[in-house]
Amino acid sequence: MVTANKQTPPEVRARIEATAKAALRTGLPLEQDRAAMIGLASALRRILQDETDPGRVVRAAKQATDIFEVSFDKNPPGRPLDCKKGCAYCCSRLVGVSAPEAFLAAEHISRSQNPFLAKEVVFDRAVHTIGVDAVGRDKNRTACALLEEGICAIYADRPLACRANASHSVAACLQAYEGRGSNIPAPLVHLFLGDRCRMAIYAALRSLGYPAVSYELSEAVTLILGADDARDRWYAGEDIFAGVQAPPDRSEEMDAVISEIAEVISF
């Protein structure tokens, strides 16, 4: 494993930087390759450190989601998915996002000309999901505030949790949606890559002293949309998402790995 700290010799730093470039070029492998995750986390940290770019937090999220797609294209699931455009049984579930992903979704909404994504109408829909926990969301089947007639209105910039949510059986998804079961046959490649990309984001955040937790999508996004200076306050270290529902999205073991990687890339 590549290891580094503040006294990291130049040759080890160079190896980490080369690994970062490789991760951006070729994506993550479908194996427990710590070096590739370190590379991606290091690349995301570099983006977040670029104070010349006021949109760096959005760029970091975009980079992580691009890597998910590149990695996924190289490692498609072994059998076909049942997911299709217009099928949205999974879009009534609680979605957890990192701060960069929330800023990416908010940026998409702010730039969109789609009346469905006008701030006020997003706020009106989001009141039905904000503060509702995972059990309540499953029970109420309240659609995500960004779901427009069965299609994600921010599809190109949807969070990693949504990208990782896939199924081999729409019948199982319908059963889960109706509260008649929860055994959805999900492709492991989606879950694996979603976890790895999220962990890289959290490691980059933790290495820079930002909170490395997930927030409920609609609450985090409306909080950003409701304040013109949300991004600057977040850059300045203010915990602007304090109090936002934080869905658990990792085991203790995953959190320990995030801390290890954060330490390794902090040089």
Q: Which residues bind ligand SF4 (CB under 6 A)?
A: 91, 95, 144, 146-147, 152, 154, 158, 162
Residue 127 per-residue DSSP state: T
CB of 147 to ligand SF4, least distance (A): 4
Q: Say which amino acid occupies 125.
A: R
- Closest CB to ligand SF4 among 28 and 144? 144
- The alpha carbon torsion through 6, 12, 13, 19 (nearest 10 deg) reads -130
Rounded distance between C-alpha atoms, residue 135 and residue 152, angstroms: 22
Among candidates 231, 246, 261, which has minimal Cα distance to 61? 231
CB of 142 to ligand SF4, least distance (A): 11
- Closest CB to ligand SF4 among 161 and 261? 161
CB of 249 to ligand SF4, least distance (A): 14
Rounded distance between C-alpha atoms, residue 12 and residue 76, angstroms: 33
- Closest CB to ligand SF4 among 135 and 236? 135
Rounded distance between C-alpha atoms, residue 80 and residue 168, angstroms: 7
CB of 91 to ligand SF4, least distance (A): 3
- Closest CB to ligand SF4 among 47 and 106? 106
For every residue of 163-178, DSSP letters joined together read: HT---S-HHHHHHHHT
CB of 257 to ligand SF4, least distance (A): 25
- Closest CB to ligand SF4 among 95 and 240? 95
Please give the C-alpha separations between residue 215 and each of 75, 98, 244, in angstroms, as whole numbers: 28, 6, 6
- Closest CB to ligand SF4 among 37 and 193? 193
* Cβ 222 vs Cβ 105: under 8 Å: no
- Closest CB to ligand SF4 among 81 and 147? 147
CB of 136 to ligand SF4, least distance (A): 15
Where are the extended beta strands (E) located within 83-220? 96-97, 147-148, 151-152, 215-216
Rounded distance between C-alpha atoms, residue 26 and residue 74, angstroms: 9
* Cβ 93 vs Cβ 138: under 8 Å: yes
CB of 97 to ligand SF4, least distance (A): 9
